[in-house]
């Protein structure tokens, strides 16, 4: 079946690749337009250009010419990609080197492409993305060329105050010492490894050194993640003597997004951000473009803390910057201050508990990168499963799933008894609390179980499974639930940011019965007895349902959307093994949403395919460029 829209003007090889679903019509159009404007007629260059556009569309920053045949098509397509008329890579490279479209070439009125030689082969860029990568590379190199001046003795006592004495290697203490002594720090770690805990203490240490005048900018790529960061930091602010009014915002807001303006952001290379320290949480979801905008806008003497889990799903836009920053070639040197503060931790030998740093990790400290590894929220088999998925060990994953652990279970696609029970039981708890107006309990109830899907549509998609789950609930409650009419216990998902009502894309909530006195209030009309409750720290945030514009009923959710949330039990409904969405990063993200139990529904072949398929995101940041 052909699923791609076919570009009418495409001819020859482009048309064949377009019809096969490898290229979208838009890729073909862009390639044809550039070739027309730039005076290029070579089919090989046209194909490479269209593949470079496609690469960016699917999350890569550039096209890796050594791997340009590694493309996946829609899983419903029956086309054999290998049978397409792929040109020889040497011919494509030679044609590109001659092309008037390439920057550095002699001719050409328009040169939007760039060929970049790296230690691992040639990359083809749309120049704009190359410039963004260069910006990131240059800013990071400049920032690592100098270090903040610190009072080592004062810092040492602050580290002891916040992280205890140095009797055993402690990655959190190392991260804090690193952040205090370098301008740019990357704190990587899986869920619950204490990233936010550490960041809050780093801020406390910096406040202790500089006083309350320290200007702190807290940001995250999404409104929901920003709200979580703010809550988490403010919960600890009294204990840590942090300024009580710290607020977090989206990266767009931090940079001063100006719709319609040519410069786009108020803060940029010519007008730097007014902070002494900038913290970005959930950095795995930051795109290349946003990272370059952020780094160009920070002052050289602003500390930058990039925090996140590099193994999780990335932004839908091009780039996997956090993973790249963790893996990029090491630059910089260890400062004497760091060595004197945590030399004891660094000297500790490697040990199986992952407390001490490996030689590679010690080396990466020079680039300001540290990974927290000890799960504080969950441990045992869920953590083992996440590690096996992360490491691509499908045998270990299947062994763990098939073992006797009470934290993991694995069911065939037809075995829905367990998930049905969890859906129905969760709805019963939520509904009972909602009917009695107990919003906190209803919201907590929502976290008992979540059904997660890879796809939005189709037989394995959220649409279908949300409907099925709703029918299960309706049947158990002896009613037919209608998502078009508010009802107590109705689980909600926000699908767009609304700064006015302070609810954000990805927030979940629940409809609850209002309190009795409200019902008697003549100012509140009948339907207002129902309220939409959202979690905001320890107190629920109540809104009239009519204030909600972009909202869905959520009995199932995509794994992408579940990022940043946790549930006691997670049921992951796997698609067919051929699905190109089914990747290691997707499985890892789904599994790490669970606190107590992970249930996987699908075939063994699907598990294997998911563990083995990695999101392919080509970029140059991890490589060494050749002049
Ligand atoms: N050193 C520590 N001592 C005691 N408790 C800790 C420590 N580090 C983290 N915790 C606790 O572990 C839990 C998880 O920590 P935290 O929320 O900081 O993790 P995280 O890595 O930011 O998680 P997520 O990725 O889900 O945001 C929190 O309850 C936190 O208070």
Annotate 492-551 with three-state secondary structure. Answer: EEECCCECCCCECCCCEEEEEECCHHHHHCCCCCHHHHEEEEEEECCEEEEECHHHCCCE
Q: Which atom of ligand 1 is nearest to the CA of 199?
A: 18
Is 191 annotated in some ligand binding site? yes
Average pLDDT estimate for 563-579: 91
Residue owning the nearest CA to atom 23 of ligand 1: 192
pLDDT for residue 525: 46
Is 195 annotated in some ligand binding site? yes
100 CB near ligand 1 (under 6 Å)? no
pLDDT band per the 50, 70, 90 thresholds, residue 2:
very low
Residue 518 has pLDDT above 60, yes or no: no
Residue owning the nearest CA to atom 12 of ligand 1: 376
Question: Of all helices (H) and strands (E), which one includes residue 50?
Answer: helix 43-57
Residue owning the nearest CA to atom 24 of ligand 1: 191
Encode pLDDT of 22-47 as tens digits: 898 999 999 998 888 888 888 999 99
Measured in Å, residue 232 CA sits from the centre of ligand 1 at 10
The residues pairing with 257 across neighbouring beta strands, listed in sequence order, are 265
Tokens 């807001």 map to which residue?
253
Measured in Å, residue 59 CA sits from the centre of ligand 1 at 30
At 52, give phi and psi (nearest 5°).
-70, -40
pLDDT band per the 50, 70, 90 thresholds, residue 497:
confident
Average pLDDT estimate for 417-429: 97
Is pLDDT larger for residue 279 or for residue 387?
279
Residue owning the nearest CA to atom 15 of ligand 1: 194
Residue 463 has pLDDT above 50, yes or no: yes
Encode pLDDT of 145-157 as tens digits: 999 999 999 999 9
Measured in Å, residue 177 CA sits from the centre of ligand 1 at 18
| Pair type for strands 121-126 and 113-118 | antiparallel
Question: Of all helices (H) and strands (E), which one includes residue 449?
Answer: strand 449-453
Highest mean pLDDT among 35-44, 401-410, 411-420: 411-420
| Pair type for strands 303-308 and 121-126 | unpaired
159-160-163 Cα angle (round to 5) = 75
Measured in Å, residue 361 CA sits from the centre of ligand 1 at 21
Is pLDDT larger for residue 599 or for residue 166?
599
pLDDT for residue 270: 93
284 CB near ligand 1 (under 6 Å)? no
Residue 117 has pLDDT above 60, yes or no: yes
pLDDT for residue 7: 62
Query: What pTM value is reported for the model?
Result: 0.87
Is pLDDT larger for residue 89 or for residue 346?
89
Residue 348 has pLDDT above 90, yes or no: no
Q: Between helices 584-591 and 380-390, what is the axis angle to 10°?
A: 170
99 CB near ligand 1 (under 6 Å)? no
Average pLDDT estimate for 218-246: 89
- Ligand 1 pocket test, pick from 165, 167, 171, 192 with the greatest ligand atom count within 8 Å of Cβ, gives 192
438 CB near ligand 1 (under 6 Å)? no
Residue owning the nearest CA to atom 25 of ligand 1: 191
CB 489 within 8 A of CB 442: yes
Task: Measure the CA–CA gap between 495 and 266, rounded to whole angstroms.
Answer: 27
Task: Confirm whether the ipTM is greater than 0.95.
Answer: yes
Q: Which atom of ligand 1 is nearest to the CA of 232?
A: 17
Residue 308 has pLDDT above 70, yes or no: yes
- Counting residues of the chain whose pLDDT is more than 70, the rounded percentage is 90
377 CB near ligand 1 (under 6 Å)? yes
Residue owning the nearest CA to atom 16 of ligand 1: 194
Q: Average the pLDDT over each of 59-73, 178-192, 201-215, 603-617 and give the range with the smallest value.
A: 59-73
187-192-194 Cα angle (round to 5) = 50
Measured in Å, residue 198 CA sits from the centre of ligand 1 at 8
The residues pairing with 370 across neighbouring beta strands, listed in sequence order, are 187
pLDDT for residue 8: 61
pLDDT band per the 50, 70, 90 thresholds, residue 264:
confident
Q: Which atom of ligand 1 is nearest to the CA of 200?
A: 18
Is 421 annotated in some ligand binding site? no
Average pLDDT estimate for 496-503: 77
Say how many C-beta atoms besides its own lie within 10 A of residue 34's C-beta. Answer: 22
CB 219 within 8 A of CB 261: no
Measured in Å, residue 197 CA sits from the centre of ligand 1 at 5
Cα Rg, the chain, nearest whole Å: 26
Encode pLDDT of 127-138 as tens digits: 999 999 999 999
373 CB near ligand 1 (under 6 Å)? no
């Amino acid at each position: 079946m052909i699923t791609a829209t076919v570009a009418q003007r495409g001819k020859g090889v482009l048309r064949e690749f377009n019809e096969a679903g490898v290229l979208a019509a838009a890729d073909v159009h862009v390639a044809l337009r550039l070739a027309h404007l730039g005076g290029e007629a070579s089919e090989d260059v046209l194909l490479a250009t269209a593949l470079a556009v496609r690469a960016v569309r699917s999350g890569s920053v550039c096209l890796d010419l050594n791997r340009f045949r590694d493309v996946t098509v829609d899983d419903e397509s029956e086309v054999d990609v290998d049978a397409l008329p792929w040109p020889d890579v040497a011919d494509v490279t030679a044609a590109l080197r001659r092309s008037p479209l390439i920057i550095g070439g002699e001719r050409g009125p328009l040169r939007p492409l760039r060929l970049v030689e790296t230690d691992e082969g040639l990359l083809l860029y749309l120049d704009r993305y190359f410039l963004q990568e260069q910006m990131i590379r240059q800013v990071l190199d400049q920032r690592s060329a100098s270090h903040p001046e610190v009072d080592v003795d004062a810092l040492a006592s602050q580290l002891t105050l916040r992280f205890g004495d140095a009797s055993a290697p402690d990655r959190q203490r190392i991260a804090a010492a690193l952040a205090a002594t370098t301008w740019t720090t990357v704190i990587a770690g899986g869920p619950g490894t204490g990233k936010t805990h550490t960041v809050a203490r780093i801020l406390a240490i910096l406040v202790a050194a500089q006083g309350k005048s320290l200007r702190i900018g807290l940001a995250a790529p999404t409104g929901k993640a920003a709200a979580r960061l703010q809550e988490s930091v403010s919960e600890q602010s009294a204990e840590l003597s942090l300024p009580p009014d710290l607020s977090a915002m989206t990266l767009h807001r931090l940079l001063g997004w100006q719709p319609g303006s040519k410069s786009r952001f108020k803060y940029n290379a010519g007008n730097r951000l007014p902070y002494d320290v900038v913290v970005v949480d959930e950095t795995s979801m930051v795109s290349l473009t946003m990272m370059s905008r952020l780094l160009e806008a920070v002052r050289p003497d602003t500390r930058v803390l990039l925090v996140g889990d590099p193994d999780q799903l990335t932004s839908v836009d091009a780039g996997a910057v956090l993973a790249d920053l963790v893996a990029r070639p090491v630059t910089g040197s260890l400062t004497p201050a760091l060595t004197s503060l945590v030399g004891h931790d660094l000297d500790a030998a490697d040990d199986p508990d992952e407390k001490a740093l490996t030689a590679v990790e010690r080396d990466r400290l020079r680039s300001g990168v540290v990974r927290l590894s000890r799960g504080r929220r969950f441990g045992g088999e869920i953590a083992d499963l996440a590690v096996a998925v992360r490491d691509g060990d499908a045998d270990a994953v299947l062994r763990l799933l098939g073992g006797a652990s009470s934290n993991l279970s694995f069911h065939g696609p037809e075995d829905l008894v367990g998930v049905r029970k969890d859906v129905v039981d969760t709805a019963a708890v939520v509904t009972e609390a909602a009917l009695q107006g107990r919003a906190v309990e209803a919201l907590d109830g929502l976290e008992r179980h979540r059904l997660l899907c890879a796809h939005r549509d189709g037989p394995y998609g959220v649409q279908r499974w949300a409907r099925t789950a709703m029918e299960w609930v309706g049947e158990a409650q002896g009613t037919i639930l209608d998502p078009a009419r508010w009802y107590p216990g109705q689980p909600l998902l926000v699908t767009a940011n609304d700064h006015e009502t302070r609810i954000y894309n990805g927030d979940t909530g629940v409809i609850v019965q209002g309190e009795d006195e409200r019902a008697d209030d003549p100012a509140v009309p009948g339907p207002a007895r129902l309220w939409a409750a959202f979690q905001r720290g320890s107190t629920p945030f109540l809104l009239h349902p009519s204030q909600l514009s972009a909202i869905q009923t959520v009995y199932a959710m995509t794994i992408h959307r579940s990022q940043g949330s946790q549930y006691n039990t997670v049921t992951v409904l796997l698609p067919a093994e051929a699905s190109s969405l089914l990747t290691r990063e997707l499985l890892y993200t789904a599994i790490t949403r669970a606190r107590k139990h992970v249930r996987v529904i699908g075939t063994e072949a699907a598990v294997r395919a998911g563990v083995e398929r990695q999101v392919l995101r080509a970029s140059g940041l991890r490589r060494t460029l050749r002049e």
